[in-house]
Amino acid sequence: MSIYGNYINGEWVTKSHQSTFASVSPSDTGDQVGEFSIADEQQVKEAIAAARAAQPSWASTPIQARSEILLKIGLELGERKAEIGKLVSREGGKTLADGVAEVVRASQVFHFFAGETLRCGGEAIPSTRPGIGVLTSREPVGVVGLITPWNFPIAIASWKIAPALAFGNSVVLKPSEETPAIAAELFRVMARAGVPAGVANLVNGPGHITGSALAQGIDALSFTGSVPTGRKLALAASEQMIRIQLELGGKNPLVILDDADLPAAVECALNGAFFSAGQRCTASSRLIVTERVHDQFVDALRTRMRSLNIGHALDKDTHIGPIINQRQLDMIQRYIGVGKSEGAELVEGGQLLERRNPGFYMQPALFISTRNDMRINQEEVFGPFASVIRVKDYDEALSTANDTEFGLSAGICTTSLKYANHFRMHIQSGLAMVNLPTAGLDYHVPLGGVKSSGYGPSEQGKYAADFYTHLKTAYIAN
Ligand code: ADP
């Protein structure tokens, strides 16, 4: 199998002394997707230097040309969604339908930012002083480091790369070591679309080597991943006084009130908690249910859970694919033990599964009789793992929902306008969902968490400009 190099200054570079790592399908550990060379500190520096050299001419490339390049990337992703979606599913373990949908999402993101390239302007504001005008303009930040996780390998990379390039920055991406082949595919598409050499660079390798090297010598850093890594990167960024954007974990509540449309609420919970094997930072892991509907809700959810097919991501009747790797599977299994030892009752699933290929399969797990202060309700598990918390009424549901260090997404299922509106206003989270799963977002509106779930400006939509540009304020006398 040939070794994939790192993409630096428009070339795929492999050095003879470099160590490599393999990417393996979580659906079938016998299926090796590729072997990748690890970019060491020196090579990351070379990538940053290439990005720095290329950035000024990219920033002065006319917006029409920049927009057309982004549009071309979006077009190719859209045309090849079936093929690239299959790679997403094979390497990342999500179902084929989800893999294809993610490529479509990436395509839409590039189309959106092709438009934003043309719309990125400033304002003319009257001065308080006579004879003076004030103009604001948005200017690129410079070289942006991007560090991404494996769970949305092409969508997250795209919603960082597209705005960075739209507004005249250059980038160095370090994708997750679980999904390097998808990143390589995206970079091939970008090169074909005409992204100039050095404007977008790709370095592969483990977080503590390649990722931490990328946190040095850049002008801004955008990261999606875990809270501990985010915290380390925030410290590195503050030492250098560079801007940083962190999209971190969640412990997202879904509140179900007595007056909810129960079948619809069960579907919200099933989707939010277990689809994509719960490996979404917006997954619903705390199902907060008022007592009058509690038993009925739990019974209906258990029935639906039993109808889910867990299997190879590429099989067409699979609803839920594997866990991404052994380490993550072990971690989820440890939390099953934690839940039991805390006195919670495992009423559904949780066991490991064998399938025709060796992979990281488990039956989605549901705990009941849980309290919000249990570890299983306070720590992010990142798997098909949810707990039900029984509460008296709406007030207790809201205070329980807010009683967490996280604040990414939160949902409520109710037919009451009063409660829906109160929840929307008082839930401490970046995303509030009414009669919808906590996961499942649009691409043209902001995404950002509060509390430990996020730091810095939001991502996506027109607000992405707040991170990827500096505002300059010019005062001009007549
Ligand atoms: P997870 O693997 O659970 O998604 P991580 O925060 O470990 O969460 O990983 C997200 C991304 O951050 C990955 O690309 C990973 O390689 C990278 N990463 C991990 N540790 C570090 C680190 N110390 N410095 C920079 N990047 C890191």
- CA of 148, closest atom in ligand 1: 14
Catalytic (active-site) positions: 247
CA 178–ligand 1 middle distance (angstroms)? 11
Max intra-chain CA distance, the chain: 78
CA 74–ligand 1 middle distance (angstroms)? 27
Q: What is the pLDDT of residues 282-306, one digit of tens each?
A: 999 999 999 999 999 999 999 999 9
**Confidence at 1, pLDDT banded by 50, 70, 90:** low
For the cut 80, the answer to whether the pLDDT of residue 451 exceeds it is yes
Mean predicted lDDT score pLDDT of the chain: 97
Q: What is the pLDDT of residues 364-380, one digit of tens each?
A: 999 999 999 999 999 99
**Residue nearest atom 9 of ligand 1, based on CA coordinates:** 225
Spatial strand order of the sheet with 469-477 comes to 124-126, 132-140, 469-477
CA 223–ligand 1 middle distance (angstroms)? 9
Instruction: Give yes or no for a contact between 264 and 413, defined as CB atoms under 8 angstroms apart.
Output: yes
For the cut 90, the answer to whether the pLDDT of residue 459 exceeds it is yes
pLDDT given for residue 478 in this prediction: 85
**Residue nearest atom 17 of ligand 1, based on CA coordinates:** 207
Ligand 1 site: residues with CB under 6 angstroms?
147-149, 174, 176-177, 206-208, 211-212, 215, 225-226, 229, 232-233
**Confidence at 2, pLDDT banded by 50, 70, 90:** confident
**Residue nearest atom 23 of ligand 1, based on CA coordinates:** 208
**Residue nearest atom 20 of ligand 1, based on CA coordinates:** 207
- CA-based angle 230:236:240, to the nearest 5? 140
Domains of the chain: 3-248+454-477 (3.40.605.10), 252-434 (3.40.309.10)
- CA of 226, closest atom in ligand 1: 6
For the cut 90, the answer to whether the pLDDT of residue 201 exceeds it is yes
**Confidence at 235, pLDDT banded by 50, 70, 90:** very high
Joined together, the tokens standing for residue 296 give 């009925």
CA 410–ligand 1 middle distance (angstroms)? 25
**Confidence at 18, pLDDT banded by 50, 70, 90:** confident
CA 405–ligand 1 middle distance (angstroms)? 20
Q: What is the pLDDT of residues 121-160, one digit of tens each?
A: 999 999 999 999 999 999 999 999 999 999 999 999 999 9
pLDDT given for residue 285 in this prediction: 98
Residue to mutate, 216, 229, 244, 382, ligand 1, most ligand atoms under 8 Å from C-beta? 229
High-pLDDT (> 70) share of the chain, %? 100
CA 204–ligand 1 middle distance (angstroms)? 12
Rounded Cα gap, residues 129 and 475, in angstroms = 10
Q: What is the pLDDT of residues 40-91, one digit of tens each?
A: 999 999 999 999 999 999 999 999 999 999 999 999 999 999 999 999 999 9
The arithmetic mean of pLDDT across residues 203-212, rounded, is 98
Q: What is the pLDDT of residues 371-423, one digit of tens each?
A: 999 999 999 999 999 999 999 999 999 999 999 999 999 999 999 999 999 99
- CA of 177, closest atom in ligand 1: 16
- CA of 236, closest atom in ligand 1: 24
Rounded Cα gap, residues 293 and 383, in angstroms = 26
**Residue nearest atom 19 of ligand 1, based on CA coordinates:** 207
**Residue nearest atom 14 of ligand 1, based on CA coordinates:** 176
CA 105–ligand 1 middle distance (angstroms)? 23
CA 229–ligand 1 middle distance (angstroms)? 6
**Closest among 243, 252, 249, 200 to 227, alpha carbons compared:** 249
**Residue nearest atom 13 of ligand 1, based on CA coordinates:** 176
**Residue nearest atom 24 of ligand 1, based on CA coordinates:** 212
The DSSP annotation for 412-442 comes to: EE-S-HHHHHHHHHH--SSEEEESS-S----
pLDDT given for residue 111 in this prediction: 98
**Confidence at 17, pLDDT banded by 50, 70, 90:** confident
User: SS3 for 181-223, per residue?
Assistant: HHHHHHHHHHHHHCCCCCCEEECCCCHHHHHHHHCCCCCEEEE
pLDDT given for residue 222 in this prediction: 98
Residue to mutate, 23, 40, 147, ligand 1, most ligand atoms under 8 Å from C-beta? 147
Long-range contact pairs involving 473-477 (C-beta distance under 8 Å, separation at least 24): 473/134, 473/135, 473/136, 474/134, 474/135, 474/136, 474/137, 475/127, 475/132, 475/133, 475/134, 476/132, 476/133, 476/134, 476/135, 477/131, 477/132
Q: What is the pLDDT of residues 298-357, one digit of tens each?
A: 999 999 999 999 999 999 999 999 999 999 999 999 999 999 999 999 999 999 999 999
Q: What's the whole-model pTM score?
A: 0.98
User: SS3 for 322-374, per residue?
Assistant: CCCCHHHHHHHHHHHHHHHHCCCEEEECCCEECCCCCCCEECCEEEECCCCCC
